[in-house]
Structure 1
Amino acid sequence: MYSESFVPEDDVLLRARERAADLGCPSVLPGTGALLRVLAASMRARAVVEVGTGAGVAALWLLRGMPADGQLTTIDREVEHQRAARESFAEEGVDPRRTRIIPGRADEVLPRLTDGHYDLVLVGAEPYAYPEYVEQALRLLRPGGLLAVDDALHRDRVADPTRRDEITTIVREVGRALRNDERVMPAMVPSGDGLLLAVRR
């Protein structure tokens, strides 16, 4: 797809993607990564949370868009994934002070983060837990902060009402809930596997 190759990935990103494939963990598609970079840059996002570190693919895109004094907090229950992400960050030459890598379950870590402090929260892991993660993310965002939910079209299944498997249904309901939530202004972007965006009022 043209939009996925419009901004090509360099060697650092490609190696991070290879690590992710070796570990069997998902990564944002290139079109989504490029969009995340643009969003982080346009907001000058200095405080960002990522749910689901993986091998660091999305984190690299975000860090490239963030100001040099920005800090990314990234959460993953798999220490092996975070080890791979550290390799990716080292290859990129990221100052270690710019990343706060927290191992653990997101449902246990997110409640410990500061309310209303963050510019951007990316939810990109464990779709079955999206409803809880999204609610926690809204609590973390400052007014004008941005929530981004990856895999929001879930392989184009969400738009098909005949698809009623558990994960598709959960992801579809998250979209509906945000669409009707007066706390946010939402939009669905068909980049990658779908990126659901919502700005905190």
Structure 2
Amino acid sequence: MNDHLHLREPAALAALWADTCAARFDMASAPLTGSLLRTLAATKPGGSLLEIGSGTGLSTAWLLDGMSEHAALTTLDSDDAVLQILRQHLGNDPRLTVVHADGDAWLAGLAPASFDLIFADAWPGKYQALHETLALLKPGGLYVVDDMLPQPNWPEGHAEKAAALLDTLGTLPGFHTTALSWATGMVLAVRR
């Protein structure tokens, strides 16, 4: 089986990749991650989705591609320079709300059980404020993280943080969790 066969990339992806490379942004989500995000987004018709760590919008494009017409996606990042690339290519989608804010502070202001799917691709929501972020999921809501296999851009000591996160996610009460040694290493958890 070829994992890259029939990916059917979203229309905006080529231009997003070009601008991502031009900006020398090296923390972009992999195409296989995007493909899985699109599939998972499609399971939440009319749902409320949250992406923490928008970057330049590569994973945002995949999520939007899988979402139904009446679903809504809020994407959050603390770096306005990369958000400018996202806005340029995806900002006209009425289902999308782009938030430029400190993740920890912004997440703290949200009501529990607000989201059907959360993709946490930044320190907030993943390595910081994890339990607060998980509380934002509705019953049946999906929590998704990537980059759980060693990556070349990991800073010193990050492998230990990733291992601790895997242990925590694997023992969460009230969740069913699956770790996948696929793409960049993914974990999916669903609130029971």
TM above 0.5, yes or no, is yes
- Tell me the alpha carbon deviations over residues 52-88 of structure 1, each in whole angstroms, 9 at most, x when there is no partner: 1111110111111111111111111111111100112
Match in the other structure for 1:172:
163
1:122 aligns with 2:123: no
Measure the CA separation in 1 of the matches of 2:77 and 2:190: 24
Q: Which residue type is aligned with residue 67 of structure 1?
A: S
Measure the CA separation in 2 of the matches of 1:37 and 1:130: 20
- Tell me the alpha carbon deviations over residues 32-51 of structure 1, each in whole angstroms, 9 at most, x when there is no partner: 10111011102326211111
Per the alignment, in what secondary structure is the counterpart of residue 36 of structure 1? Answer: helix
Per the alignment, in what secondary structure is the counterpart of residue 15 of structure 1? Answer: helix
Unaligned runs of 5+ in 2: none
Count of matched residue pairs: 190
Match in the other structure for 1:33:
34
1:67 aligns with 2:72: no
Match in the other structure for 2:102:
105
Q: Which residue type is aligned with residue 134 of structure 2?
A: L
Q: Which residue type is aligned with residue 16 of structure 2?
A: A
Match in the other structure for 2:183:
192
TM superposition shift of 1:4:
3.5
- Tell me the alpha carbon deviations over residues 126-179 of structure 1, each in whole angstroms, 9 at most, x when there is no partner: 48x7232432321110011000011122339xxxxxxxx511110111111111
* 1:55–1:88 CA contact under 8 A, matched in 2: no
1:147 aligns with 2:136: no
Match in the other structure for 2:89:
88
| Range with bigger deviation, 139-148 or 18-27 | 18-27
* 1:37–1:61 CA contact under 8 A, matched in 2: yes
* 1:71–1:99 CA contact under 8 A, matched in 2: yes
Match in the other structure for 1:162:
none
Identical pairs, percent: 28
TM superposition shift of 1:198:
0.3
* 1:106–1:133 CA contact under 8 A, matched in 2: no
Q: 1:4 to 1:135 in 2, by over 3 A?
A: farther
Per the alignment, in what secondary structure is the counterpart of residue 3 of structure 1? Answer: coil
Per the alignment, in what secondary structure is the counterpart of residue 48 of structure 1? Answer: strand
Measure the CA separation in 1 of the matches of 2:163 and 2:6: 28
Moved over 4 A (4+): none
1:9 aligns with 2:5: no
Q: 1:151 to 1:38 in 2, by over 3 A?
A: same
Q: 1:133 to 1:6 in 2, by over 3 A?
A: farther
Match in the other structure for 2:128:
132
Measure the CA separation in 1 of the matches of 2:137 and 2:166: 18
Which structure features the higher share of helix residues? 1
* 2:46–2:70 CA contact under 8 A, matched in 1: no
* 2:149–2:184 CA contact under 8 A, matched in 1: yes
Unaligned runs of 5+ in 1: 157-164
* 1:53–1:74 CA contact under 8 A, matched in 2: yes
Q: 1:106 to 1:135 in 2, by over 3 A?
A: same
